[in-house]
Amino acid sequence: MTKYFPAILFFIFSLLLLGNIFLNSPVQSEDAHLASGISHHQFWKFDLYKVNPPLVRSFASFPVYCLGNYQSDWKHNSSYPLLRREHQVGVDFVSANKQQSRTQIQVARIACMIFILIGGFCCYRLAGSVHEKSSGILALFLLFFSPYILGHGATIMPDVPSAAFAIASVYFFWKWLKRPEMLEAFIAGIILGFAELTKFTLLIFYPMFVVMWLLYRLPEIKTLTKNHWFQQVKQMAMMFATSILIINMGYLFEGTGKLLGSYRFQTMLFTGYKTLADVPTGGGNRFEKTQLAYLPILLPSNFIQGIDTQRLDFERGLPSYLRGEWSEHGWHYYYLYALLIKMPLGTIGLFLLAIFCTFFQKGYNIAWRDEMVVILPGIVLLAFVSSQTGFSVHSRYVIPALPFFFLWISKVGKAFPMKRPMVVTIASVLLAWSVLSSLSIYPYSLSYFNELAAILPTPEDKNYPKLLPEISKTAWQKTKSILSAGPRNGARHLLDSNIDWGQDLFYLEKWYQKHPEAKDMKVAYWGSYPLELTTIPSKEMPPANKPQPGWYALSVNYIDSREKQYRYFLNFEPVATAGYSLYIYHITLEDANRVRREMGLPEIEATTIK
């Protein structure tokens, strides 16, 4: 039975992922990714959505493109390098395909399942190779039941696929470290190239791999000959060259060889200007009057242009939210805080148990070189994203680091074959807690917060109601109510894709169909999927800053928005929720007047109500 356990986990995870794929509505930017991917196939151009490399969206959109049952609308498309038209093109695509776009996005989501399954296989093999088979199974549990993976893995966004290729890339690089031969280097280069085609964050792997290689060879420094060093340098050069070839193939060599001086950049980094206000409207280039201007860049032009465009967001900054407060920039501790409240407490407990076993127990540690391969990529990725403080909006940017922490934690699994009853008992309880906590709010995995989110204080606590009331009859309902306290209080800590990314619209539609008394409901929905493509007829937003009687549904991103025009809804008790991101209110005349008095507004006369 044990030998079939990994296969059973893969099967269960696939079912859970499929559930989220079909139950959750399209999230922000999915329409833009799908339309951009189709444009790549149709025009063989990669200017749309260049802030992310094209592999994931190209793969996701391929079955939709092959089926051909879609309507295209490219009137807002533009190849001008300094424009970002992908979001408007995504809106146009959904408008052209109407209800059919729902199925098209689901088909694209299913195609992306292959990425995380590959990542899961590599995670299992690496954990089993450096530790034990039981460690591989523990790593799979942590990966497959992670709310981050279950939630974001059911979209066509590149975060989870990049995590999958990050672990695959390190796995094959480790195999080359163990057996430095040309074939292993070539395979590692192919996988590294695919990894770079998922997310620009993984560019950090190039210098990291050089450092890992040098550290891995330290114990052999006195035994390796000059020829050995030369051969390995040559193999690593071939590995990197192969990865660059794969990157170019992913872009169909579009713009490869373009001279550095001919690029038009927007950022201070690449234009050389001290402020963004100084950058000319048509862009600039700090290299155009230097000798480097004549250097041909052996990477696709939209790959280079995409790095510049992505960098621009961090240089100019974006409004960022943390613990009830807004800022013009991000925080270096944002991702650590997000992990503290968005990772299951059982997983955090296993991490602490792994630390204890590392320093105070025998038999859990492996050779320091292999330990480095397991944990260093996670630390480097976490440190890298934390260093980008232009804005802190999406904790999903840290997802590529997660498999490496799961790998390191999996050393605790060695307690099972070593028959360490105390560690086995503690690890089993923590793992069960982690899995149960994640599944307790399934299929609303995108909105997951652990129990700390309900009890950690924030500066704005006085403005928030405590836990939403829930009627619990059975022991399981009571347990689920306790475990779901986190997401019910998540908006006190984080917003946007951390809790409300448009994923709960279909649940609101189902609720609306069962409640005809709410036929005039007004909706403030934070998502890119049009309300007009659902059965909810709302054409009006709720009144801003002025409580009125009626039925309303609001995304938590609107309730806690920076403008605060809907903050007054915190004074009312919601009658229901759609998932954990959409709150449904029925405001009576009495309730509206009570809050209006508190706000210093004139009361509403009953005779004025239609």
Strand partners, 265: 284
Task: Write phi, then psi, for 555 (nearest 5 degrees).
Answer: -70, 145
**Which two tokens mark 100?**
């059919």
Whether residue 467 sits in one domain with residue 395: yes
Task: Tell me the C-alpha to C-alpha distance, in Å, between residue 267 and each of 299, 311, 314, 327, 360.
Answer: 19, 7, 9, 21, 49
Asked whether residue 447 falls in the same domain as residue 520, the answer is no
Interval 46-65: pLDDT, tens = 999 999 999 999 999 999 99
pLDDT at 466: 46
- Burial of 80-97, coded b for 16+ CB within 10 Å and e otherwise, reads ebeebbbbbbbbbbbeeb
Are the CB atoms for 575 and 515 separated by under 8 Å?
no
- Find out whether 121 and 164 touch, Cβ atoms under 8 Å: no
Give the span between the Cα atoms of 116 and 137, in whole angstroms: 16
Is 216 domain-assigned? no
Which own/partner pairs from 204-207 qualify as long-range (CB within 8 Å, at least 24 positions apart)? 204/380, 204/381, 204/384, 205/166, 205/169, 205/377, 206/240
Spatial contact of 302 and 293, defined as CB atoms under 8 Å apart: no
Q: What is the pLDDT of residue 472?
A: 43
Last residue of a domain, one of 449, 464, 492: 492
Which of 482, 483, 484, 499 lies closest to 560 in space, CA to CA?
A: 499
DSSP code, position 258: -
Cα-to-chain-centroid distance, residue 320: 16
**pLDDT exceeds cutoff 80 at 375:** yes
Residue 447 inside a domain? The answer is yes
Residue 345 and residue 270 share a domain? no
Helix 345-360 / helix 402-409 crossing angle, nearest 10 deg: 50
471 assigned to some structural domain:
yes
488 and 374 in a common domain = yes
Structure tokens at 423: 């560690």
Counting residues of the chain whose pLDDT is more than 70, the rounded percentage is 95
- 590 and 446 housed in the same domain: no
Give which of 17, 97, 85 is closest to 61, Cα–Cα: 97
Give bridge partners of residue 585 from the DSSP assignment. Answer: 552
Q: Which domain-ending residue is among 446, 461, 492?
A: 492
Looking at the fold, whether 584 and 438 belong to one and the same domain comes out as no
Domain membership flag for residue 64: no
Is 464 found in the same domain as 523?
Answer: no
- pLDDT higher than threshold 70 for residue 464: no
Whether the per-residue pLDDT at 481 is higher than 70: the answer is no
- Please indicate, yes or no, whether residues 487 and 511 belong to a single structural domain of this protein: no
- Same-domain check for residues 404 and 344: yes
Show the domain range for 523. Answer: 504-608
In a domain, 365, yes or no: yes
The confidence score (pLDDT) of residue 469 equals 41
CA distance 469 to 346: 25
* pLDDT attached to residue 83: 82
pLDDT for 279-302, tens place per residue? 998 899 999 999 999 999 999 999
* Per-residue model confidence as pLDDT tens digits over 56-91: 999 999 999 999 989 988 998 887 777 889 999 999
Q: Is the pLDDT of residue 610 over 90?
A: no
Quick: pLDDT tens for 381-432.
999 999 999 999 999 999 999 999 999 999 999 999 999 999 999 999 999 9
The pLDDT value recorded for residue 81 is: 74
- Percent of the chain surpassing pLDDT 90: 87
Answer whether 248's CB lies under 8 Å from 416's CB: no
Residue 537 located in a structural domain: yes
In a domain, 23, yes or no: no
Query: pTM, whole model, 2 decimals?
Result: 0.94
With residue 4 as reference, give the H or E element that holds it: none
How long a stretch of residues is the chain? 610
Pick from 324, 461, 351, 336: nearest CA to 395: 336
Q: 538 and 585: one domain?
A: yes
> Do residues 371 and 462 both lie within one domain?
yes
Phi-psi region of 319 (alpha: psi -120 to 50; beta: other; left: phi over 0): beta
Q: 452, 471, 492: which is the final residue of a domain?
A: 492
Whether residues 467 and 533 share a domain: the answer is no
Number of domains in the chain: 3
* Residue tagged 């992990």 (tokens): 339
CB 210 within 8 A of CB 203: no
As a whole number, mean pLDDT of residues 211-232 equals: 93
Contact present, 450 and 493 (Cβ < 8 Å): no
Sheet order of strands, 550-555 included: 522-524, 550-555, 582-587, 576-578
What region, left, alpha or beta, does residue 552 occupy, with left being phi > 0 and alpha being psi -120 to 50 degrees? beta
Alpha helices in 459-608 (DSSP H): 475-483, 485-488, 505-513, 556-559, 589-599
Question: Omega before 219 cis (within 30°)?
Answer: no
17, part of any domain: no
